[in-house]
Amino acid sequence: MTELTHPLATVPRDELVARAEADPHRPRFHFVSPAGWLNDPNGVSQWNGTYHLFYQYNPEGAFHHRILWGHATSPDLVNWADQPVALEPSDGPDADGCWSGVLVNDGGTPTLVYSGRLGERELPCVAVGSPDLLAWTKAPENPVIPAPPAGVDITAYRDHCVWRQGTVWRQLVGSGIRGRGGTAFLYESADLRRWEYIGPLFIGDAASGDQAAADWQGTMWECVDLFRAGGGTLGAGALGDRTPGTDVFVFSAWHDGDTRHPLYWTGRYAGDSYTPRELHRLDYGGRYFYAPQSFADGSGRRVMFGWLQEGRTEAAMVEAGWSGVMSLPRVATLDPDGELSFAPVPEVASLRRDHVRIGPRTVGASEVLAGVAGHQLDLELDLEMEPGSVFRLGILATGAEETVIEVGYDVGSGGFPQSYVLLDREHSSLDRTVDAEEKSGPVHLPGGKLHLRVLVDRSALEIFANGKPLTARAYPTLGGEAVRLSAAGTVRLQQLDAWRMEGVFGGPRPLFP
């Protein structure tokens, strides 16, 4: 097969899959592309009972270049089958890439709305699918919006959220207004082809806060997503009415080419604008859960996917032949405080094997758990913690390497609890080129009670502490599999359940199914 010509393409295409399959850091029960590059989830949906996951894909190598739309289907959100590439660049507005977008149901016709890239411009395009969603035809009207809003100095313009509202379609395009902050431009259409510009949904404030902070809003909002959580219909009712639910606006903060972190506002969408109430961090792992996209499935669940970026060097990715992991699908619900709470979809439990149960008992000095080890694990722990205590769970451990999940519980001034979850990767790897930055965020522990769920899939880590997610990557070099517990203060382990997790792919997969 012909050698690749891109400057980063040091691995011949026919070797990519073999290299990817041989990499010990490559996850086995998370979705990954056959090889090459994967980034944003696109078009996530359930169509006629089948789940569809489209994704940004470069089969030429583990780098971002000439992006296509990969496609996979699943009956259960767990076991995935590769399908033919859905979109490829062609002459016209997407000649340099078919970038992120969504799938909508246009009166029974599957329709993709995506960003076509030509040179430095990204503009909305449309493609229509066959009934089985395996063949796609681009609309002759592309781009369906010929330019960003006139007279606005934008930082960038791409990514889409599209929904049916009454008799019309509405669309948000992620953007930013230079000198002010991120935004999403609102449009309306009767046919998904001719769009009327309405205006900014609302505008963020890039000048407020520390640019290094985990909740800085950025100068551009990527991968915008708007949905009603907790009941009711998006667009129904006005701010302050009695319509149930909260309108959640999700975005990924971007600045000058740098992917920062996902955030979300709670508030109310009504008329042509959104009135935000509170800004929240979506995932405490920051850029390790980026560009999320969600959908409502047939049972009414709000299911979300995100892109787990890599934490190793570009050269290491290229050499390995693959880059990027899709998160496990997670269900978003509203907690009693009106914030989002997350848990992996229950279907993930179908991969569990070799159950081990431990507890109840008090956690003391560091101990290695007998019968619990591996680099593909699902761990569930229920604990009760006294104020001033700290619990630590070590995973992927050997004598020299260990990744530590820490939860601290305390009562601060005024009697309000102050508690947190933290991921310590300082000793995760002997490879000093990988990212080892600490990740953390606040967690509410009512009465000192903690439910901790930890999913380990080689280099992919997904942690849920009382519904607050922290997603990250770790790259141990020694192949450690031990699990350790330790505590300072009084921590009682009510129950620990551990399982080994099966993989979901049987062997090498073709780059072009």
Cα separation, 425 vs 443, whole angstroms: 19
Look at residue 82 and give its three-state secondary structure: strand
In this structure, are 299 and 358 located in the same domain?
no
In this structure, are 155 and 269 located in the same domain?
yes
Which residue numbers in the chain have pLDDT < 70? 1-5, 237-244, 412-417
Q: Three-state secondary structure along 330-382?
A: EEEEECCCCCEEEEECHHHHHHEEEEEEECCEECCCCEEEEEEECCEEEEEEE
Residue 338, domain member (yes or no):
no
Residue 256, domain member (yes or no):
yes
Residue 212, domain member (yes or no):
yes
In this structure, are 276 and 158 located in the same domain?
yes
The string of DSSP codes covering 421-474 is EEEE-TTS-S-TTS----EEEE---GGGEEEEEEEEETTEEEEEETTEEEEEE-
Residue 413 has a pLDDT of: 62
Report the side by side order of strands in the sheet with 81-87: 81-87, 68-74, 50-58, 36-47, 322-323
In this structure, are 281 and 361 located in the same domain?
no
Identify the bridge partners of residue 344 per DSSP, sorted by sequence position.
330
CA distances from 434 to 33, 104, 431, 459, 485 (A): 22, 39, 6, 11, 25
Q: What are phi and psi of 396, to 5 degrees?
A: 50, 45
Residue 216, domain member (yes or no):
yes
Chain centroid to CA 468: how far?
14
Residues 333-362 as b/e (b if ≥16 CB within 10 A, e otherwise) read ebeeeebbbbbbbebbeebeeeebebeeee
In this structure, are 188 and 291 located in the same domain?
yes
Cα separation, 128 vs 401, whole angstroms: 50
Cα separation, 294 vs 310, whole angstroms: 22
In this structure, are 267 and 357 located in the same domain?
no
In this structure, are 291 and 376 located in the same domain?
no
Query: Which CATH number do you get for residue 496?
Result: 2.60.120.560
- The answer to whether the beta carbons of residues 39 and 291 sit under 8 Å apart is yes
Cα separation, 253 vs 308, whole angstroms: 15
Residue 416, domain member (yes or no):
yes
Domain end (from 275, 303, 331): 303
Residue 117, domain member (yes or no):
no
Residue 250, domain member (yes or no):
yes
Cα separation, 283 vs 463, whole angstroms: 10
Domain end (from 264, 282, 303): 303
Residue 96, domain member (yes or no):
no
pLDDT tens track for 282-307? 999 999 999 999 999 999 999 999 99
Query: Which CATH number do you get for residue 243?
Result: 2.115.10.20
- The answer to whether the beta carbons of residues 393 and 379 sit under 8 Å apart is yes
Q: Which domain covers residue 238, as residue numbers?
A: 148-303
Q: What is the number of domains present in the chain?
A: 2
In this structure, are 278 and 421 located in the same domain?
no
- State both tokens at 408: 């601290």
In this structure, are 376 and 252 located in the same domain?
no
In this structure, are 397 and 490 located in the same domain?
yes
In this structure, are 293 and 357 located in the same domain?
no
pLDDT tens track for 418-449? 899 999 999 999 999 999 999 999 999 999 99
In this structure, are 293 and 406 located in the same domain?
no
Domain end (from 303, 322, 338): 303
